[in-house]
A and B are shown apart, each in its own frame.
Chain A
């Protein structure tokens, strides 16, 4: 037996002609499966229709009759997108930014060595020796 699932959907959507409706009803009288499908489809549609209607925030959905959406109506979206871009840039900068400014030992040594040269103990016991290996690189 040929089942009429597509005609059931079309019937519930009000898309069938009168001869097609009569044909469907005759078929449902003799086909238990299609009758059951019809009943299930009606239950689902009733449940969907019973859901409360929510009012969408203004500006979130462009008005249907407006094909060209003006920019000012999407300000919220643009602000959000800009914030996301900024956050992304900061995240990338944080990742690629060096963790610290590198200071050479010589920069520290020069200051320490200069002050140590005023120390009473300054001399062969205290002279700051440069890192020769690094200087020769």
Chain B
């Protein structure tokens, strides 16, 4: 009887968010296991304007293959720590990492869900919220659990990005072996870093360093994520425009579903790449080393000697 009372007490005292968070994990995990092919439209409203794309997706065994109708020779394979971009049969860039950090406890919860229809299929729509702010709307296929549509919101409730399938085929065969591309190991775990363990509600999960001297840390809050890069040489991304956040000047570049910030410090170049909504950018960047002009001689020294 005492054990039963303790169990009931534990259930009552268990935070509701923990129970919901588990459900969010389960929904996302089920979505990863689904096999299908689809066409997806990505539309993001950013401070720099609208960025959109139409891509072709096929998912099997947790791996995604991505193509684009406007770029028939370009193909991306991602999953299980690998990422390979191929153009006309040649690898443009690739990386392979091993996750070492624990999965963070999501700071978001989902509601009980509401039945709906999407692309003529039964689906369930969930709202994902954290700290009383709705951050995403997720529509999952009721039969196989695939994530059919996701809308992410800024803190003020405005839409940041919408990713929605416009075609969906759950019977499509998984991609063949010929589409699998060799990935190149470029990072190892276990690197020390002075980057913060937590940053604006995000947890640092891993730190990597590769042969090119790129040190990067991966942060996640259970849904959104970003990577912070520390590069010994100076850094300038090949796109982007200057932007001032909290009196700090960065180079910022948006692409569909993603943002990149780059800046210089006394010790080298830094960059932040992630899918977090714009209202989170300033708080995250405020927790990182501030942009600083390295000065003529440091610039010259790094240019001459690396």
A44 at the interface (CB under 8 A from B): no
Q: Which segment of B7-15, B52-60, B170-178 sits at the interface?
A: B52-60
**Distance from B216 Cβ to chain A, minimum over Cβ atoms (Å):** 6
Taking a contact as CB atoms under 8 Å apart, the answer to whether B216 and A111 are in contact is yes
Taking a contact as CB atoms under 8 Å apart, the answer to whether A111 and B92 are in contact is no
A30 at the interface (CB under 8 A from B): no
Chain A residues 10-38 with CB under 8 Å of chain B are none
**CA gap between A110 and B208 in the complex, in Å:** 13
A106 nearest in chain B by CB position: B93
> Which residue in B82, B85, B275 is a CB contact (below 8 Å) of A117?
B82
A48 at the interface (CB under 8 A from B): no
Size bracket, chain A contacts: 35 or more
B31 at the interface (CB under 8 A from A): yes
B192 at the interface (CB under 8 A from A): no
> Which residue in A119, A124, A130, A135 is a CB contact (below 8 Å) of B40?
A124
Taking a contact as CB atoms under 8 Å apart, the answer to whether A114 and B81 are in contact is yes
> Which residue in B59, B82, B87, B274 is a CB contact (below 8 Å) of A123?
B59
Taking a contact as CB atoms under 8 Å apart, the answer to whether A126 and B275 are in contact is yes
How many CB-defined contacts (below 8 Å) exist between A and B?
213
**CA gap between A99 and B208 in the complex, in Å:** 26
**Distance from A105 Cβ to chain B, minimum over Cβ atoms (Å):** 6
**CA gap between A119 and B80 in the complex, in Å:** 9
Taking a contact as CB atoms under 8 Å apart, the answer to whether B93 and A107 are in contact is yes
**Distance from A118 Cβ to chain B, minimum over Cβ atoms (Å):** 4
Q: Assuming the A-B contacts A115-B97, A123-B59, are A129 and B234 also in contact, with contact meaning beta carbons closer than 8 angstroms in the complex? A: no
A77 at the interface (CB under 8 A from B): no
B267 at the interface (CB under 8 A from A): no
Taking a contact as CB atoms under 8 Å apart, the answer to whether A132 and B147 are in contact is no
Q: Assuming the A-B contacts A93-B300, A111-B186, are A134 and B97 also in contact, with contact meaning beta carbons closer than 8 angstroms in the complex? A: no
**CA gap between A124 and B62 in the complex, in Å:** 11
A101 at the interface (CB under 8 A from B): yes
Chain A residues with CB under 8 A of B97: 111, 114-115, 118
Q: Can you name 26 A-B residue pairings with CB atoms under 8 Å?
A: A100-B269, A101-B236, A103-B236, A103-B238, A104-B238, A106-B93, A108-B260, A111-B187, A112-B273, A113-B95, A114-B78, A114-B82, A114-B183, A115-B99, A116-B218, A117-B82, A121-B222, A122-B64, A123-B28, A123-B64, A124-B165, A125-B136, A127-B64, A130-B74, A135-B92, A136-B74
The 5 closest A-B pairs by CB, nearest first: A100-B234, A100-B236, A113-B83, A114-B83, A114-B95
